[in-house]
Amino acid sequence: MMGGVRFLKGHGTGNDFVILPEGTPELTPDFVAAVCDRRRGIGGDGVLRVARSSLPGVDWFMDYWNSDGSLAEMCGNGVRVFARYLAAAGLAAGTVPIETRAGVVRAVIGDETISVDMGFPKVYGDSSARVGGLELPGVAVDCGNPHLVCALPASVPLESLDLHLPPGHDEEFYPAGVNVEFYVPVDDLHVRMRVHERGSGETLSCGTGAVAVAVVALAAAGRETGAVTVDVPGGRLTVTLDGAECHLAGPAVIVASGELSR
């Protein structure tokens, strides 16, 4: 790791990130993996490097990396934590556009909750996941990054799934890998989910995963619009689709700051 580099630590419903302020040198896969190591580094599901955007009318670019050192197109909770950092640092307030590798999103910064306009997710086919000897049908959803959403049958408890290893998937359908979500209904437009994220493993929360699950849950209820409550192991997110936009809302906090010693 690089000594003398400032960092902050933040999370959104337990989805935690190491934040590297503006001026941090370009990252490398080895550096990111070392920083995210939970025993030998700071620990995190990924790294958010704050950089300037070159797009007109957009000040900030979120340079997001998964904990294994791979690049990611988008991270819904990451955007919310990124926005919380900008607000805490006095760099943004109200509504702020943020460039990601999947395009520009807009975060609305509140006292406790941060909401992000995620664009509109696209359902683009069917596939399946394999976990614990089960073959589960799923729906492919593009949220700026690839997702496979699997509704669990009533006979399979959500807690019973072993997500320490990546679920098997169709590698021709998902040549760049995939984030896999499993969900069960709680009530009308209220679900619980777990996720295995490409490049990070099972996480306590996944913003784009919650969006993907909400889209599938709405379709299962015969609806295209509405607000879906998504309970993840790390807390609760709300996904609202109005037919043109999709908003992801939930808490985002900064919990620590410091400097890398080596």
Instruction: Residue count of the chain, please give it.
Output: 262
Catalytic residues, which ones? 75, 206
Spell out the long-range contacts of 134-137 with Cβ–Cβ below 8 A and sequence spacing 24 or more: 136/182
The contacts of residue 246 (CB under 8 Å, 6+ apart) are 117, 118, 119, 120, 121, 211, 214, 215, 239, 240
Q: How far apart are CA 217 and CA 206, in angstroms?
A: 16
117: buried, middle or exposed (CB in 10 Å: 19+, 13-18, 0-12)? middle
SS3 235: strand
Helix, strand, coil % (nearest 5) of the chain? 15, 45, 40
Helices assigned H by DSSP within 2-62: 29-36
Helix (H) or strand (E) holding 65: strand 60-66
CB count in 10 Å sphere of residue 54: 8
Sign, CA torsion 119/47/204/94: negative
